[in-house]
Chains A and B, each alone.
Chain A
């Protein structure tokens, strides 16, 4: 699947994601890590539900609105539902065990210069790169 390099929209999107993380920390004192936000919804604690739910609803509103304006979101999947379910299970398990994902460790953790987050980000970037290499260039999958 070829995709075109889009540095400007990438940078703009990144600035928006960074602004979101900054707003959430400045206003509510929370880390905008999606695995953590969602994890706190499936293992709910008192006083920890409303802000998480509001954040997720905000994400869905943005995506739905943008999709309406653009006539649908560009989402090209590498495989069918069974493979994606397997991937999702590993992602959910790994992010909870490792206390964060691309946003929590990558954007927010590195943002506050956390050593744990730097290590975690290097590890998941590395293992993701190796996984894609194995699937595409060793196993020869279409992904």
Chain B
């Protein structure tokens, strides 16, 4: 196995550990974060804060390099405009997140429980993503 996928595998392990240790793999905790008017659990803010403590200064340093360690270039989004797909997509994502309590990372991680509703969520998520991919191709965005 080459170094590139191994680095990716290690990053995946760290990400998965972060999701389970923080409790974000549990939709009840996420929904209680979103429920400011009810049984509010602020934990998610600490997760996001902890991650940004690393990425904000870390990305700044890393992006001063010409290239990454194991790849020819940085693969970064190049757009800066706020367009309709971004706005509509983000709002839709929030609605689905609020209904199920899962965003993509925790849902993929929770597949290991084998719970049928989690599998249903992930299969539907893949289908929804595929559909939006087709739509974006037709719209040329």
CB-CB under 8 A from B140, the residues of chain A are: none
B55 touches A132 (CB 8 A): no
- State the Cβ distance, A13 to closest chain B Cβ, in Å: 2
A75 to B116, CA, bound (A): 12
> Which of B16, B42, B126, B130 has the most chain A CB atoms closer than 10 A to its own CB?
B16
* Residue in B74, B100, B118, B133 whose beta carbon sits within 8 Å of that of A43 in the complex: B133
Q: How far is the CA of A45 from the CA of B83 in the complex (A)?
A: 25
With a cutoff of 8 Å between Cβ atoms, the chain B residues found around residue A25 in the complex are 58-59, 62-63, 68, 74
Q: How far is the CA of A102 from the CA of B122 in the complex (A)?
A: 16
Interface of chain B, helix or strand or loop or mixed? Answer: helix
Are B105 and A1 in contact, with the CB atoms below 8 A?
no
CA A105 to CA B54, docked complex, whole Å? 15
B58, A22: Cβ atoms closer than 8 Å:
yes
- Annotate B30-69 by CB proximity to A: 1 below 8 A, 0 otherwise: 0110111111011111111111111110111011010111
* Number of interface residues, chain A, beta carbon within 8 A: 115
Within 8 A of B (CB), among A74-113: 74-99, 101-103, 105-113
CA distance A72 to B38 in the complex (A): 28
CB-based contact A108/B11 at 8 Å: no
Q: Please give the number of chain B residues whose Cβ is less than 8 angstroms from any Cβ of chain A in the complex.
A: 121
Inter-chain contacts of A130 with B (CB < 8 A) = 94, 98
Q: Which residues of the partner chain A approach B32 to less than 8 Å between Cβ atoms?
A: 1-3
User: Which residues in chain B, 57-88, are within 8 Å of chain A measured between CB atoms?
Assistant: 58-60, 62-63, 65, 67-77, 79-82, 85-88
Bound-complex Cα distance A90 to B97 (A): 8
In the A-B complex, the 3 residue pairs with the closest CB atoms:
A58-B12, A14-B50, A98-B89
9 contacts between A and B (CB under 8 A): A10-B50, A30-B8, A30-B75, A55-B11, A61-B16, A66-B17, A76-B26, A89-B125, A99-B77
A residues adjacent to B (C-beta < 8 A): 1-7, 9-32, 34-35, 38-39, 42-43, 50-64, 66-67, 72-99, 101-103, 105-116, 119-121, 123-133, 135-137, 143
